[in-house]
Amino acid sequence: MMLLDDVTAATEILQPWLPESRPQLAIVLGSGLADLAWQLAERQTIAYDDLPGFPASGVAGHIGQLHSGQLFGRSVLVFQGRYHCYEGYSAWQVTAQVRLAAALGCRQLLLTNAVGGISARLQVGDFMLVSDHMNIGNESPLRGRPEREFLDLGNLYKQDFYISLQERLEREKISLQRGVLAWMLGPTYETPAEIRALERLGADAVTMSTIPEAIVARLCNLQTVALSCITNLASGKHSSSLDHEEVLASGTGATEKFQRLLKQLFEVWLGSE
């Protein structure tokens, strides 16, 4: 079996493992945000490498575990870590968690990530609701796949609740902006010249993940929300050098704020469903 290409065998193992209240929402946790998984009630856990075709996580901050449990009164699946193209995986392979969530019956998907802030509106510790994306990496997870379709990516990210959510978060003293996320392949951080180019193109933040997952989520008819934590300012926007350990520390430092944000997000996004 090719790693991460087919999730059928993993789905068969997980079907009897799932709780009776089948999760409708899957959450993919990005760098520094892994602690959310420990907040699940009735949590049960399985390591990625205990699933056929799923390797252990190879990036610091991505623990590599799948959890099921209750979060803010909702039955959820939580993927504690993701795969990245810079590890050598294809754009299709890095979407394995999304395909697995869809195969297990989830209908909503929350993608989270740690990103570099480009827009002057964004400061370290802020959160950004993704309104659109730029596939600067120019890789499609559907390229060459039998599943390929001419997908309409307009309105890919659900955001119609933004104003209501922002009003709630202002009372919580949590800053939530809305913006465009650019995807670069990594693993190097971008150069100042690249950041200037992205800024001119209209990008508000930059990531090394997420975009392939969102595309496949549309293929799987998953309602998708993407939430970015600004863990650093992009190259050229600050005087210090970029460091992954600092990114992880910034994400971990935002854990309590992240949990309060998600509680409000669940209410405005899922409250009526």
Structure tokens at 2: 């090719």
Q: Is residue 234 one of the residues assigned to a domain?
A: yes
Residue 134: active-site member: no
Per-residue pLDDT of the chain (273 residues; tens, 9 = 90+): 468 999 999 999 999 999 888 999 999 998 778 889 999 999 999 999 999 999 987 665 568 899 999 999 999 999 998 999 999 999 999 999 999 999 999 999 999 999 999 999 999 989 999 999 999 988 999 999 988 889 999 999 999 999 999 999 999 889 899 999 999 998 999 999 999 999 999 999 999 999 999 999 999 999 999 999 998 899 887 766 655 565 555 545 577 889 999 999 999 999 844
Residue 31: active-site member: yes
Residue 86: active-site member: yes
Q: What is the C-alpha to C-alpha distance for residues 99 and 16, in angstroms, rounded to an integer? A: 18
- From the list 47, 86, 140, 246, the catalytic residue is 86
Q: Is residue 9 one of the residues assigned to a domain?
A: no
Q: Is residue 12 one of the residues assigned to a domain?
A: no
Q: Is residue 219 one of the residues assigned to a domain?
A: yes
Q: Is residue 60 one of the residues assigned to a domain?
A: yes
Choose among 33, 121, 142, 136: nearest CA to 79.
33
- From the list 62, 90, 184, 234, the catalytic residue is 62
**In which domain, by residue range, is 204 found?**
20-270
* CATH number for position 174: 3.40.50.1580
Q: Is residue 4 one of the residues assigned to a domain?
A: no
Strand partners, 76: 25, 69
Residue 160: HSE in the Cβ half-sphere, 13 Å Cα cutoff: 5
Backbone phi, psi, residue 232, to 5°: -160, 160
Local structure of 42: helix, strand or coil? strand
Q: Is residue 91 one of the residues assigned to a domain?
A: yes
- From the list 34, 102, 114, 217, the catalytic residue is 114
| Block residue for tokens 């933004």 | 162
Q: What is the C-alpha to C-alpha distance for residues 142 and 148, in angstroms, rounded to an integer? A: 5
Local structure of 123: helix, strand or coil? coil
Residue 114: active-site member: yes
37 in Cβ contact with 65 (< 8 Å): yes
Sequential DSSP letters for 54-88: -PPP-STT---EEEEEEETTEEEEEEE----GGGT
Residue 244: active-site member: yes
- From the list 26, 68, 75, 84, the catalytic residue is 84
Q: What is the C-alpha to C-alpha distance for residues 89 and 91, in angstroms, rounded to an integer? A: 7
pTM here is: 0.93
Q: How many domains does the chain have?
A: 1
Residue 48: active-site member: no
Backbone phi, psi, residue 238, to 5°: -155, 170
- From the list 68, 75, 209, 235, the catalytic residue is 209
- From the list 135, 197, 244, 267, the catalytic residue is 244
Q: Is residue 111 one of the residues assigned to a domain?
A: yes
- From the list 113, 175, 228, 232, the catalytic residue is 232
82 in Cβ contact with 101 (< 8 Å): no
- From the list 10, 26, 31, 102, the catalytic residue is 31
Structure tokens at 60: 């610091």
| Block residue for tokens 């803010």 | 72
Q: What is the C-alpha to C-alpha distance for residues 206 and 208, in angstroms, rounded to an integer? A: 7
